[in-house]
Structure 1
Amino acid sequence: MEFTPGLAVSRRLHDEVVGPALTPLRYASARVDSGSDVLGFDTARSMDHDWGPRLQVLVADRAAVPAARAAIDAALPETFHGIPTRPWADGGERIGVTVDAEADYLAGALALPDPRKPTTDDWLALPTQRLAEFTGGAVFHDDLGGLTAARAALRWYPGDVWRHVVAAQWTRIDQEEPFVGRCGEVGDDLGGRVVAARLARDLMRLFLLLERRWPPYAKWLGTAFARLPGAPHDRLAAALAADDWRERERHLVAAAAVAGERTNEVLGTAVDPTPRPFHDRPIMVVGGARFAAALVDGIADPALRGRPLTGAVDQWVDSTDVLSHVGRARAAARGLDGAGDGPNDR
């Protein structure tokens, strides 16, 4: 079967089948749930599971769900352009069309009290993968308005939150910058490679944040990064390929210097990005903490300016089982906010 991007298949399903079936009703129809097709990263390989003509249909309230579901079930063929439209009989991954009340869907998809008016706490509790999916994808019809309003409200961080998140990302980089050299000095090549890979990942996420792109999870991080013009793709690839720790370090600090220049350009900091020795050691760093401090200085909200630089939930949580579940991510963020700062908590 010839490959057609999943979003195009879903649009056809709406235009040819679901839209006409729902003509008398007020509804929204979109593809904003999980999946590589939502991010525009699907390929022919994606067709082997959890892929196909999929739609999220939203109606005004729970009372309208049965009628919409019945209309869709009556109109939905078993296959659409040769692709199954319903959940697999053997309990495999669900494809097809879901129908929910608008408020119920938004609550489940985002776990926010009001997705049209996210607070600072809301922003920091939302994984960027979920934000990428929800604000990406496509809306094919919406005469309810809530879905479109929520997507517009969540398009990108407010200025202060953006600065905080970027400062947190620079802090992560600062905390491990000298470790490639230190591992190299003691002959720990494997450890140095692991640190280099972690720094490369953090720099990739930093560049995406600077360009106002939601960093996706690991499978698609490199694909998203490769689409950024001007990012030091070759430097990071060379760092990971290097067999000598000095060469590894050289490429990493060069990439970090580019990130520093871009931070100055985008967020108005004025920090010298020139690499420098780490204290008196023969180890080179850019000094990410300097960028973090400059970014925090530009935050107007005193409460946010005083927060620890842990950033958004996916900057300090690395569990797929948490980050793929917005309720768990929000609970984790609440737990961090509730942590004490006494002598036993440091």
Structure 2
Amino acid sequence: MTKFTPGLLLSEMFFKEIIEKNLKIDFPHLKYSAGLIGAGSEVLGFDTPLSADHDWGPRIILFLSPKDYKNKKIILEKLTKKLPKMFKGYPTTFGRGNKKSHGIDIYTLKSYFEEYLGLNPLKMNHLDWLILSEHRLRTITSGKMFLDDLNVKKIQQKLLYYPKDIWFYLLAAEWQKIGQEEHLAGRCGILKDEIGSQIIATRLVRNIMSLCFLMEKTYAPYSKWFGTAFMKLTCTKKMNPLLKNILSAKTWKVREKYLSLAFTELAEMHNNLKITKPLATKVSTFFTRPYLIISGSKFADEILKNVKNKAIKKTRIGSVNQFLDSVDVLDYNDRIKKLKVLYQ
């Protein structure tokens, strides 16, 4: 049995040992970029042997200039004719979607980013940032270029993280979500609705985790890899045990205890950012009711004072990633663009 090789490493070896050599022979003057960015668990570094059952294998994205792209068919034919059937124990033709194919994709920079992100990443405004899939941003910046004559790395650098104004806005929006629900787990508990309390607490755990990604300026991937990526954050050592206790709690009072500790840790993380005046890190009661809260909306209010772009301060809904879970929207650029109207 072949020892597992992570897909990003496998693809880099595939390029250097097969693709690059053949391009030098057949197209010695060709200027191009080649690497692996975009879709795929291997791009994120999260692939395992299980990943190899579909949409996985030695593959590259080849970027050409508009002039050379006219010869795409010729270049692809030359490359595929010289492909070995196997590379490092893995087939070079494998399942991709509903068919088997080689792992070589050819684009211009313009055609790739318009297809994958739905825009030109070098000409983005604040609305573009707010409707971009955070998962896709992570897959662009996590990928690797093996050769880069066309400077794809410039685009990766541009997308490395949100601009400061957008970052402040997203932080405020996530704190706002906490402020809207932080008292409800206890309210359900008082009514002996433990299932309702658990559901709300789980939503709050996700909000807490999302804030951790934002505070550490790290794009959060989609649901399958959300927890895996979270475990790589600096705050995980302190935060993870608290979140586990929230999720495993059998009663609302135990749930509240660990939610309160997590809120305090989160508030301390916020103060360490030094982006607002120091805010209270201890929980307090919700009016005269016996529920403990951190007053998330107060954090939102203070952070929003930093946002200079008046247009994005009209609403606190955040980016599409903060109010939308539908794959049937987030994975379709034509649909997601229609959400710009929510910010106008």
Q: 1:272 aligns with which of 263, 280, 285?
A: 280
Q: For 2:211 and 2:110, how far apart are their aligned partners in 1?
A: 33
Amino acid at match of 2:192: G
Deviation at 1:267, TM superposition (A): 4.8
Instruction: State whether residues 163 and 267 of structure 1, in contact with CA within 8 Å, keep that contact through their aligned partners in structure 2.
Output: no
Q: For residues 111-146 of structure 1, what are the alpha-carbon distances to aligned partners after superposition, in whole Å with 9 as ceiling and x for unaligned?
A: 11x31232111110111100010111211111012x
Deviation at 1:87, TM superposition (A): 4.5
Q: For 1:223 and 1:149, how far apart are their aligned partners in 2?
A: 28
1:39 maps onto 2:44 in alignment: yes
Q: For residues 291-321 of structure 1, what are the alpha-carbon distances to aligned partners after superposition, in whole Å with 9 as ceiling and x for unaligned?
A: 11111011122223x3201111111111012
Amino acid at match of 1:17: I
Q: For residues 240-288 of structure 1, what are the alpha-carbon distances to aligned partners after superposition, in whole Å with 9 as ceiling and x for unaligned?
A: 0111101101111211221121122225222112111111100001111
Q: For 2:173 and 2:189, how far apart are their aligned partners in 1?
A: 26
Amino acid at match of 1:276: S
Q: Where does residue 7 of structure 2 map in the other structure?
A: 6
Q: Where does residue 102 of structure 1 map in the other structure?
A: 109
Amino acid at match of 1:116: L
Q: For 1:257 and 1:329, how far apart are their aligned partners in 2?
A: 35
1:209 maps onto 2:214 in alignment: yes
Q: For residues 59-111 of structure 1, what are the alpha-carbon distances to aligned partners after superposition, in whole Å with 9 as ceiling and x for unaligned?
A: 11131322321232122222212212224499347661111222111211111
Instruction: State whether residues 117 and 153 of structure 1, in contact with CA within 8 Å, keep that contact through their aligned partners in structure 2.
Output: no
Q: Where does residue 305 of structure 2 map in the other structure?
A: 297
List alignment gaps of at least 5 residues for structure 2: none
Instruction: State whether residues 49 and 93 of structure 1, in contact with CA within 8 Å, keep that contact through their aligned partners in structure 2.
Output: no
Root-mean-square deviation (Å): 1.7
List alignment gaps of at least 5 residues for structure 1: 339-346
1:236 maps onto 2:275 in alignment: no
| Superposition pairs of residues 143-292 of structure 1, within 5 angstroms | 143-145=149-151, 147-231=152-236, 232-269=239-276, 270-292=278-300
Task: With the length of structure 2 as denominator, give the TM-score of the two structures.
Answer: 0.92
Amino acid at match of 1:170: W
| Identical columns (%) | 34
Task: With the length of structure 1 as denominator, give the TM-score of the two structures.
Answer: 0.92
Amino acid at match of 2:235: G
Instruction: State whether residues 315 and 343 of structure 2, in contact with CA within 8 Å, keep that contact through their aligned partners in structure 1.
Output: no
Q: 1:136 aligns with which of 126, 139, 142?
A: 142
Q: For residues 3-32 of structure 1, what are the alpha-carbon distances to aligned partners after superposition, in whole Å with 9 as ceiling and x for unaligned?
A: 111100010111111112223211111111
Aligned to 1:37, the other structure's residue is in SS state helix
Amino acid at match of 2:78: A
Deviation at 1:200, TM superposition (A): 0.7
Aligned to 2:145, the other structure's residue is in SS state strand
1:126 maps onto 2:127 in alignment: no
| Superposition pairs of residues 54-65 of structure 1, within 5 angstroms | 54-61=59-66, 62-65=69-72
Q: For residues 38-79 of structure 1, what are the alpha-carbon distances to aligned partners after superposition, in whole Å with 9 as ceiling and x for unaligned?
A: 111111121222111121111111313223212321222222
The answer to which of 47-56 and 161-170 deviates more is: 47-56
Question: Residues 183 and 4 from structure 1, CA distance in 2 versus in 1: closer, same or farther, beyond 3 angstroms?
Answer: same
Aligned to 1:246, the other structure's residue is in SS state helix
Q: For 1:251 and 1:90, how far apart are their aligned partners in 2?
A: 43
